[in-house]
Amino acid sequence: MTKQQRDTIDQMLRHGTLNLGGEVEEQRGIFADMMSSIPLPDDVLTEVRNLGEVPVVTITVDGSNSSGTILYFHGGAYALGTAALSAGLASQLARRTGARAVSVDFALAPERPYPAAVHDAVAAYRALLDDGVRASDIALAGESSGGGLALAATLAILSTGLPCPAAIYVASPWADLTTSGESTTTKAVVDPSVTPHGLRRRANDYAPGHDLADGRLSPVFADLTGFPPLLIQVGGNEVLLDDATRLAARAAGDGVAVTLDVTPDVPHVFVGFAGMLDEADHALSTAGQFIRTHLAAPES
C-alpha cells in the first residue's frame, strides 16, 4: 500500500476531463472513454440480454461454478454510465466470489428521472426470482450512485413483500442527495473527482420536484429495518465519506448487521483501481469474502 500509487491516481483524476456537473451528453462520452480505457481480462465473459424487460449484461469469469448472483448497479450519478462500462469492477467481484454478476442498464436521468431507475432495479430482481433464482442466492451491489440505488431497491423490495436478498455491498455510496454531510465541505479539497456542485446538479436531474430528504431517494434518512447484512466501503478522501458513515450509523440503529470499512487517503470508488492500488485489491478481497459468506449461508 504505497503513497506513490495513491499520488499517481490522485493526479490522474485531477487532470482528467470528467466534470460531474457538466452537460450530460458531453460527460457521458468522457465517462465512457475513461471507463473503457482498461480492457477486460481475457477470461471475463459478457453477454448482453434482457432480464424481464430490463436490459442487463451478465458477467462471468471463466471457470467459476457458483450458483450465486450479484445484481450490480453502476455508478455515474444516475446520469452517466452503462452496464457494460461497469463490467470491469463487477467482474472483480465475480472473480472473488465465484458468482456471476448481472449488471443492470437502469434508466438514466434526466431523460428518465426517478423513480424509473428504482423500478428497473426491482423489475430485474423480480425477474431473477421468476427465473427460479432464490433470494438467498442473490446479493445486491453497486458503486457510488449505484450503491444508493442498491439501497433504494432494497427498500422497494421490502415494501412490496418480495423476499429479501442475502446481502448488500456498496462502495462509496451516494446515499444523501441533499449533500448535507459535513464531508461535502471538509473533504472538498482532497477529493480529486467529485464536487458538491456536481452532485447537486445531478440530484436535481434525477429527482426534479421531489423532496431529496425522502428516504427512498436518500437512504441515510430511511428506516432500514429488515435489511440484510450490509458492507459499506469508502475512501477517506471522499466528499461522500459522511454518506457512508451516517448510513452505517442508521443501519446499526435499525438493527442491521452492518460493517463500515473506511480506507484512509484514497478517492471516490477507489475499489475501481484494482491492479493499480493495493488498497483496492485488499478491499475487494474483503468484499468478495463478505458476499461469498452470505451467498453460502443456509436459508433460515
Residues near 240 by beta carbon (within 8 Å), at least 6 away in sequence:
144, 172, 173, 174, 175, 181, 183, 184, 194, 234, 268
Residue 55 belongs to a domain: yes
Task: Give me the tens of pLDDT residue by residue for the chain, a chain 300 residues long.
Answer: 589 999 999 999 999 999 999 999 999 999 999 999 889 999 999 999 999 899 999 999 998 877 899 999 999 999 999 999 999 999 999 999 999 999 999 999 999 999 999 999 999 999 999 999 999 999 999 999 999 999 999 999 999 999 999 999 999 999 999 999 999 999 999 999 999 999 999 999 999 999 999 999 999 999 999 999 999 999 999 999 999 999 999 999 999 999 999 999 999 999 999 999 999 999 999 999 999 999 977 655
Q: Is 103 strand, coil or helix?
A: strand
C-alpha cell at 237: 478522501
Residue 279 belongs to a domain: yes
Residue 250 belongs to a domain: yes
Distances (CA, A) of 95 to 43, 169, 195: 10, 15, 32
Residue with cell 471475463: 44
Containing structural domain, residue 38: 3-295
Residue 217 belongs to a domain: yes
CB 124, CB 54: distance < 8 Å: yes
Kindly report whether the peptide bond that precedes residue 115 is cis, defined as omega within 30 degrees of 0. yes
Residue 96 belongs to a domain: yes
C-alpha cell at 100: 456471476
Number of domains the chain is built from: 1
Residue 300 belongs to a domain: no
Residues near 31 by beta carbon (within 8 Å), at least 6 away in sequence:
18, 76, 80, 81, 85
CA atoms within 13 A on the CB side of 120: 24
Where residue 128 sits, what CATH number does that domain have? 3.40.50.1820
Catalytically annotated residues: 144, 238, 268
Q: Which amino acid is at 38?
A: I
C-alpha cell at 51: 432480464
Left (φ > 0), alpha (ψ -120 to 50) or beta: where does 298 sit?
A: beta
Residue 246 belongs to a domain: yes
Residue 75 belongs to a domain: yes
Strand order of the β-sheet with 54-61 is 44-51, 54-61, 100-104, 69-73, 138-143, 167-171, 230-235, 258-263
pTM: 0.97
